[in-house]
A and B are shown apart, each in its own frame.
Chain A
Amino acid sequence: MTEQQTIHLAAYWLPLLGCGVILCSWLAMRALRRMITTRQETPNEQIPTIDAEASGRSLIHSWDPRFKIIALLGFAFCAVSLQSPITILIALLLTIITLAIARIPWHRPLRRLLAMNGFLVMFLVVMPLTVPTHSGDTLVVFGNWQMLTCNLRGLELALIIIGKAWCVALLMEPLLATAPLGATLEGLTRLGLPGKISEMLLIAHRYLFVFLGEVQRMRSGMEARAFRPGRRWDTLRDLGNFVGMLLVRSFERTHRVYAAMQARGYTGTLPHHHQFRGAMSDWLQTTIWLGLGLGLVLVDRLGVGGF
């Protein structure tokens, strides 16, 4: 059992480090955000298109969706099971390679990473401070502030979590953006997802954009009448009314949509029109991926080999 090690740093390091981290991350976020907004596909886009890159051509694009889903989801679960920083880094690397193979423009995965930021930063900040100390931990103490003891194991844990989260996030792009949504969902259905659910997903996805448009117009309408989100009671009531109105309109629309479906002969299931053919290359790719995933897990569990 190794002893706890304690590193003492002068008190001023804390605010220095703290500010440094905050400044760097803020600048980085701003730069990234700016880079992303200049590439937005449509004005005022709040919801990105899932399958925007579906018309590309690459190994990933030509992969049968069913196989792709099994392979990448399987790999994702493997990645999530990893515990050593090194294996996680390897997994991340593999993911980035996949992105390159699929020729996904980099702003799309970056956008996803940005979205998760808040939650993950919380881990980064809180974990080192709240993790119970075990033997073998390295602690960093700033001056005399015993309360703010940083446990480097906590930091490591947080970084591991962030690594895993990023890995799965980055995997989403090759998984989803490389085939039309309908094809992907039909692949899922063939794999066992209840047909009803994939049907509902398709419909819900379609109407997201319709309601988003309504919300934007309603918001414009409110702004045109001098609405400013303040911190008053009134704002909450106005927002309550706003959401209520959105809901009412959606309920009315849903009946009309259903009527439209019936009018064109809907009898309970959306018709299928994707044809899947599993080729040798599909099997090969899937095997490689799953092999890599399981291999990583193995390496991870066996104590990272000789590293």
Chain B
Amino acid sequence: MHQLARNLHLQQDGPALYELRDLSYTYPNGQTALERIDLDIASGDRIAIIGQNGAGKSTLLKHLNGLLSVQQGSLAYKGQALLEEHLRRARLEIGLLFQDPDDQLFCNTLQEDVLFGPLNQGLDITAATAATNTALAAVGLAGAARRAPHKLSYGQRKRAGLAGLLAMSPDVLLLDEPTANLDPHQEEVLLQLLKDFTGTLICITHNLLFAYEICERAVVLDRGHIHHDYTFKELVSHKASLREHGLDFTFRFAESPMPEDLHADDQTQSPVRETHTDGHLAPENSPLIQLQDYGFTYPDGTEALIGLDLDISRGETLAIVGENGAGKTTLVSCLMGLRCGSGEYRLDGKQVTDTNRRDNCQQIGMVFQDSSDQLFCPSCYEEVAFGPRQLGLPNETIKKRVAEALGQTGLSGFDERVPLHLSGGERKRLALAAVLAMQPQILILDEPTAGLDPAGEELLLDILKGLDVTLILISHDLFFVRRLTHRTLVLHEGHPVQNYSTKDFFTDTNLTSLNQLDFTYRNRCGLEIMRLQHEHEHSHQHHHSHEHPHRHGDLVHNHLHEHEHEHAHTFSHTHRTEPDKPSQLPANSAQEPTHGHLPRADQPHDHEHPNHEEEPHKHEH
């Protein structure tokens, strides 16, 4: 391997780091992923690639480091096409963080894995080791260098993957859904690491808040085309177009935890799931699930759950919240009967023991975080029929149940389709259908929104609202928690920390100080974005006349003319209620309390055209 001195990066030929012209790509199965993409990426750009699932984002990303060769059109990195020698050298400066860290960590210890990149770059073993140690220290995994990847948690593996890239001192970082499956604290850690990165950053994400913090530019893809390409601030201001792309995030942080907000909310928007008798919980003498001093310890001594007392009544909806590793999944596994803990556990009055716990699944159903782990049949019908079949039901009943379950989840007619060929959202719903077919009394959802785009999430929410079961929800997604649950149980390192109503959870300011349950940065972002959106609501189109050189065909001339255009400017105004407090923001337009404002006489609006006010024009506010 010839020496490639580290500081001899490829020289940039031309203004843009990446130049994509007319790039198109069609997969061998006929699926067109990209159509005529024109894109310029400058060095130092921080771009978020956004779009619905299936819009072509991954395909685009894979072109940027040559994993997919250009089929049609052209792509130039630093002035040259990504071929042969140039490609080989380019790959050593471009880092791609895969969505699944297990794809990226392919060596037997972290040390070996992070060494892989620098050694390929031609460094000698000493320099490579130094780079490795620095990178591992930067991501906080210095002590885990000799450990095998499968012994680390998901969040640690994600960081390890990033370390592997940082050790190569890349010029460009490509990130494919970096925050998938991370809890808020882990997200913040990742955020910090990426903020410290000084090169070009291109990130595919659905997580608007995360992207807002690290990206300045947004490229929106829609069915293979570039739909928009503008600054991030502009993107978030356009509430309407976000909705168009199925990427409306406003409903998510519209209900950010703010006291005034919540009180108003409770009257108009309490969790919609109906309980049986006029709003009160159906009277039950004993709770459906009862845990007393429940605990679970792994064979190697790790205590996953300690001293848990929990009562869940029929028809209740409970959210279980906590950092990754807090014991949430362990708890629901125990409830399901997949594991056996210590202490008392009563299901519907009956004591659950090691011998009869396997029957729990007849009353409790669970949808796993990764739906691929639950689907293994060659057709949707068989998949949904699996549960009833195991229960020994007659064929006719099975057919009915399957039809019902598929109908409930919006998958009617999918009987003969192959589960693996469905989209992510459809697979999640199929897993739900498979569980519903067993008609459980209790439904457990483990991170149901993982991997879904916002459109998928809304659909899932609608389905869940219509179900008549006792619901236990594990989620980092506060919006879901808020909309679906009455009560919240907070776990931290196996201990139950709080067990109160969801409303109290949202108003609990103590929680945010619990380091691992850090939702603060989201609140901060959420507020900023809402402010931007509010400002935008006051932007408008107008006609005005002005004079500037412009072109008509081949003729360039200069005269007074009128255009209509939309200006990115805001109409300066203040709110009548609180003259000077920008933080006092109203909620989302859906429940926007009416507010009025008067134009400020001193400066009607900010505008990039000088002396704009003097020109005759008219517009509406």
Contact = CB atoms under 8 A, between A and B. Distances in A.
Chains A and B touch (C-beta atoms under 8 A apart):
yes
B248 interface: no
Contacts of B102: 210, 253
A80 interface: no
Given A182-B112, A209-B148, A265-B88, A260 B103 contact: yes
Interface string B563-601: 000000000000000000000000000000000000000
A259 B165 CA distance: 14
Contacts of B300: 40-43
Given A181-B108, A263-B91, A256 B100 contact: yes
Contacts of A206: 105-108, 148-150
A273 interface: yes
Contact of A265 (B103, B121, B435): B121
A257 interface: yes
B298 interface: yes
A261 B106 contact: yes
A56 interface: no
Interface residues of B, number: 68
B444 to A, nearest CB: 9
Contacts of B65: 263
Interface string A200-224: 0011011101100110011011111
B434 interface: yes
B164 A264 contact: yes
Given A202-B108, A217-B368, A225-B390, A265 B378 contact: no
B197 interface: no
Contacts of A220: 333, 338, 368, 373
Contacts of A244: 376, 378
Contacts of B366: 224
A10 to B, nearest CB: 44
B374 A221 contact: yes
Pick the most buried of B94, B298, B333, B390: most chain A CB atoms within 10 A of its CB.
B390
Interface stretch (B203-211, B235-243, B274-282, B357-365): B357-365
A38 interface: yes
Interface string B134-150: 00000000000010111
A248 to B, nearest CB: 7
Contacts of B39: none
A41 B95 CA distance: 34
Contacts of A228: 358, 390
Contact of B361 (A40, A181, A210, A226): A226
A55 interface: yes
A262 interface: yes
Contact of B98 (A55, A182, A222, A256): A256
Given A213-B150, A220-B338, A221-B368, A271 B103 contact: no
Nearest to A207: B106
Interface in A255-303: 256-257, 259-267, 270-271, 273, 275
B67 interface: yes
Contact of B386 (A238, A256, A266): A238
Interface in B355-400: 358, 361-362, 365-366, 368, 370, 372-378, 382, 386-387, 389-391
Contacts of B116: 264, 266, 270-271
A270 B119 CA distance: 9
B106 A260 contact: yes
A147 B298 CA distance: 51
Contacts of A224: 336, 338, 361, 365-366, 368, 374, 435
Contacts of A44: 299
Nearest to B435: A225
Interface in B38-52: none
A225 B386 contact: yes
B67 A263 contact: yes
Nearest to B297: A43
A273 B125 contact: yes
B298 to A, nearest CB: 4
Nearest to A55: B146
B389 A223 contact: no
Contacts of A260: 96, 98, 103-104, 106
Nearest to A202: B108
B445 interface: no
A189 to B, nearest CB: 15
A259 to B, nearest CB: 5
Nearest to B298: A43
Given A40-B300, A223-B361, A218 B376 contact: yes
Pick the most buried of B95, B106, B148, B300: most chain A CB atoms within 10 A of its CB.
B106
Nearest to A213: B150
B353 interface: no
Interface string B295-311: 00011101000000000
B98 A271 contact: no
Contact of A210 (B107, B121, B150, B374): B150
A37 B299 contact: yes
Interface in A238-262: 238, 241-242, 244-245, 248-249, 253, 256-257, 259-262
A268 to B, nearest CB: 10
A234 B108 contact: no
A57 B192 CA distance: 39
A85 interface: no
Given A182-B112, A217-B373, A256-B100, A248 B420 contact: yes
Contacts of B117: 264-265
A227 interface: yes
Contacts of A38: 299
A74 interface: no
Given A209-B150, A210-B150, A264-B116, A225 B100 contact: no
A44 B434 CA distance: 26
Contacts of B298: 42-43
A159 B260 CA distance: 82
B299 A40 contact: yes
Contacts of B490: none
Interface string A26-41: 0000000000011011
**Considering the complex of A and B, which 9 residue pairs feature the smallest CB-CB distances, nearest first?**
A265-B120, A271-B119, A209-B150, A226-B390, A245-B376, A221-B374, A225-B387, A217-B373, A256-B103
Interface of B: 1, 62, 65, 67, 88, 91-92, 94-96, 98, 100, 102-109, 112, 115-117, 119-121, 125, 128, 146, 148-151, 164-165, 168, 298-300, 302, 333, 336, 338, 358, 361-362, 365-366, 368, 370, 372-378, 382, 386-387, 389-391, 420, 434-435, 438
Given A203-B106, A271-B1, 15 more contacts: A182-B109, A218-B376, A220-B373, A225-B434, A226-B390, A241-B377, A241-B382, A245-B376, A259-B67, A263-B91, A264-B92, A264-B168, A266-B116, A271-B116, A275-B125
26 contacts: A43-B299, A43-B300, A180-B109, A206-B148, A213-B150, A220-B368, A224-B366, A225-B365, A225-B390, A225-B435, A226-B362, A241-B376, A249-B372, A256-B103, A259-B67, A259-B103, A264-B92, A265-B117, A265-B120, A265-B121, A266-B116, A267-B1, A267-B120, A271-B119, A273-B119, A275-B125
